[in-house]
Amino acid sequence: MADTPASGGNIAEKLKSYVKTPKGFILAAEIVLSLIILICYAASLYGGYSAVAICEMIFAIVFFVIFMMELDKQIQVVSWVWSDLFRAGIGALIYLITSLICVIGGAGDGARIAGGVSVWGLIAGLLFAYDTYTIYLQIKSSRQHTAASTDDRV
């Protein structure tokens, strides 16, 4: 038993190597920003917007684990790329909308303004939008590589 390597080391190595990839870095940044925004919203007088940060953080963690463990290649019932596109697109819209709402109506609540504007909410919205754009480019390039034949002979 002592000679077999611990499975925790294998997961830690996968984690380190996946975070170094562009997609892994983006997902890790989304998780960290969502946690920071969650803390800001939780400290605010109006904690209702914390549900946005919680949901987006959980979804980012789920996709991070799925892509890190390469479960997307094993579970092919779900189109993971399209699911990730919808997750990132909806996250971008929700973060940008709630950040703008907090900026406009956050007078007198410093934590709410910090969560909504002070770089975190808007940066998270832009990061999710960038993630959506990179996923879109990935889908577009994969469609061009697997284009159907235009040959008239059948």
pLDDT tens for residues 44-67?
A: 776 677 888 899 999 999 999 999
Q: How many CB atoms lie within 10 A of CB 5?
A: 8
- 148 assigned to some structural domain: no
The number of distinct structural domains making up the chain is: 1
- Asked whether residue 9 is domain-assigned, the answer is no
Domain of 104 in residue numbering reads as: 21-142
Mean pLDDT of 121-142: 93
Residues 105, 107, 110: CA angle, nearest 5 degrees: 115
Q: How far apart are CA 65 and CA 61, in angstroms?
A: 6
Q: What's the CA gap between 85 and 36, in Å, rounded?
A: 23
Instruction: Tell me how far apart the alpha carbons of residues 99 and 16 are, in angstroms, rounded to a whole number.
Output: 31
- Would you say residue 8 lies in a domain? no
Residue at 61 is within a domain: yes
pLDDT at 147: 53
Collapse the DSSP code of 109 into the 3-class scheme (helix H, G, I; strand E, B; otherwise coil) and give the result: coil
Higher-confidence position of 4 and 80 = 80
CB 117, CB 106: distance < 8 Å? yes
Q: First and final CA of the chain: distance in angstroms?
A: 60
pTM of structure: 0.81
pLDDT tops 80 at residue 90 = yes
14 part of a folded domain: no
Please say whether the beta carbons of 34 and 57 come within 8 A: yes
83: in domain: yes
Flag whether 4 is in a domain. no
Residues 96, 117: Cα–Cα separation, whole Å? 10
